[in-house]
Amino acid sequence: MNHNISEIRKDFPILNTVINNKKLVYLDNAATSQKPIQVINKLNDYYTKLNSNVHRGVHTLSGKATDEFENVRLKVAEFINVPNYKKSNPIIWTKNTTESINIISMAWGDENIKENDEIVVSAMEHHSNLIPWQKLCERKKAKLKIFPINEFQELNIKLLNEYINPNTKLVSIVHSSNSMGTINPIKTIINQAKKVNAKVLIDGAQSVPHMPVDVTDLDCDFLVFSAHKMLGPTGLGVLYVKEDVINTLEPHFFGGEMVLDVSYESATWNDIPMKFEAGTPNIADVIAFGAAIDYLNEIGMSNIRKHELELTKFALHLIEESKFLNDNTVLYGPKNVSNRSGVLTFHSGIAHPHDLGTLLDNEGIAVRTGHHCTMPLMKYLGIPASLRASLYIYNTEEEVSNFIKCFTDSLRFFENV
């Protein structure tokens, strides 16, 4: 499959939806992506043909379900290029990116962060990659440092040596900002962290679905992301832990499946990764996620990145032609288009983002309005909220044109009220 948009769009039933007598234009992909029929069918197939618990039964259904379940773990490991994944697979299933980060803050953080140690996050972090470290620093009397951004809404990389120094024990950083579209120079940050023996966690929730991400090349210690932002089901997250780190971790959740031997007095743990997956896992959604990985692989992550970059350039060109950006209406994110994802975030003093979003919804255009779970960033930018349009593989130039036109019309409407 090459990136033939018209053919791809046929795989997404929801794109035929009509909203307010207008064909749906879905531009809220940073919140969650739509699902192709291949994923929907896979989920249905599990419940109609395969429904059984995994790892625990000797009967045929359990064996088949286990094989499919574990095969997806291999697919995900290959997708992000985990080294030696067939020998030792460090992919852990969680509920979402948020849970993955919280697990590391407890399983790794409580054991390794000491008083006066420093943890570094950026000023553009999602709450999920901020609050767990705030609470860890409170528990351990450590210091949380906020890496600042510059006037272009990019990390102020000139301050790299100041913020990542010998006192730094962990850098937990977003790869691609969910609220501004900024793509951070992850390899540069990781290289600096390695110089001071700090661990690095990458929040890949907005990068893994949109571009090639290679953990062997990055050499990060942790990578977290969610299935639902990359064509898969909700309720499923991925936690990758580097081999030399995962071997030092103790489980944080306890119960069935994660044990090897149990007595009334004590217990020993199962092999990795099972020792981190207590209880019945999210079997159906894992198996359906495998179909999403297959779909993305068929298109190719480089092709997906290229498509979104072309759409973003097209959008920026239309925005410039529309001439609605001024002191009252601002587009956030890097000026250099190669440093940004397919996220277009606006704030206008003419109207509240919620009101603009409502007018767009009247035209069948779905966008996100609010603080996008980056409230400290919004406060730093001096705005209460913003309006975000986010692109994915099934979006078209026609949809982008429609959005820009309707957004421009909405601004003019409020100007004349």
What's the whole-number mean pLDDT along residues 136-146? 98
Which amino acid appears at position 46 of this protein? Y
Q: Are 342 and 391 in contact (CB under 8 A)?
A: yes
pLDDT > 50? residue 105: yes
22, containing H or E segment: strand 22-23
Domain boundaries, the chain: 5-30+300-416, 41-297
59-to-62, 258, 262, 285 alpha-carbon distances in Å: 6, 21, 24, 21
Cis peptide leading into residue 281 (ω within 30°) = no
pLDDT of 384:
95
What's the whole-number mean pLDDT along residues 168-184? 98
Please list the residues that pair with 191 across neighbouring strands. none
Q: What is the pLDDT of residues 274-313, one digit of tens each?
A: 999 999 999 999 999 999 999 999 999 999 999 999 999 9
pLDDT of 87:
84
Q: Which residues contact 86 (CB under 8 A, 6 or more apart)?
A: 74
Q: What is the pLDDT of residues 326-336, one digit of tens each?
A: 989 999 999 99
**110-113 contact pairs (CB < 8 A, 24+):** 110/136, 110/139, 110/140, 111/248, 111/249, 111/250, 112/169, 112/170, 112/199, 113/137, 113/140, 113/142, 113/169, 113/170
In 227-342, the DSSP E strands lie at: 237-241, 259-262, 267-269, 329-332
106-to-98, 110, 137 alpha-carbon distances in Å: 13, 5, 11
pLDDT band at residue 1 using 50, 70 and 90 as cut-offs: very low
pLDDT > 70? residue 398: yes
- Tokens for 276? 């981190």
**Catalytic site residue from 137, 220, 373, 406:** 373
Which has the minimum average pLDDT: 76-90, 109-123, 229-243, 382-396? 76-90
Q: Are 385 and 187 in contact (CB under 8 A)?
A: no
Q: How many helices (H) and strands (E) does the chain have?
A: 15, 17
pLDDT > 70? residue 75: yes
What's the whole-number mean pLDDT along residues 157-169? 97
What is the average pLDDT value for the chain, to the nearest integer?
96
Sign of the torsion formed by the C-alpha atoms of 16, 19, 25 and 27:
negative
pLDDT of 283:
98
Q: Which of 163, 190, 191 is nearest to 175 (CA)?
A: 190
373 is catalytic: yes
205, containing H or E segment: none
CATH of the structural domain 41-297, one choice from 3.10.350.10, 2.60.40.1120, 3.40.640.10, 1.20.59.10 = 3.40.640.10
pLDDT of 417:
67
HSE-up (13 A, CA, CB side) for residue 335: 3
pLDDT band at residue 90 using 50, 70 and 90 as cut-offs: very high
pLDDT > 90? residue 2: no
Q: What is the pLDDT of residues 107-136, one digit of tens each?
A: 999 999 999 999 999 999 999 999 999 999
Q: Which residues contact 264 (CB under 8 A, 6 or more apart)?
A: none
Q: Order across the sheet with 329-332: list the strands.
A: 329-332, 343-348, 386-390, 368-370
Structure-token match 């995900």, residue found? 76
What's the whole-number mean pLDDT along residues 157-178? 97
- Whole-prediction pTM value? 0.96
Buried b (16+ CB within 10 A) or exposed e, 281-313: bbbbbbbbbbbbbbbbeebebeebbebbbebbe
pLDDT of 234:
98
Output the CATH code of domain 5-30+300-416. Answer: 3.90.1150.10
pLDDT band at residue 317 using 50, 70 and 90 as cut-offs: very high
pLDDT band at residue 88 using 50, 70 and 90 as cut-offs: confident
Q: Which of 131, 135, 120 is nearest to 167 (CA)?
A: 120
Q: What is the pLDDT of residues 5-45, one digit of tens each?
A: 999 999 999 999 999 999 999 999 999 999 999 999 999 99
| β-pair type (259-262, 25-26) | unpaired
Phi, psi of 123 (to 5 degrees): -75, -5
Q: What is the pLDDT of residues 210-258, one digit of tens each?
A: 999 999 999 999 999 999 999 999 999 999 999 999 999 999 999 999 9
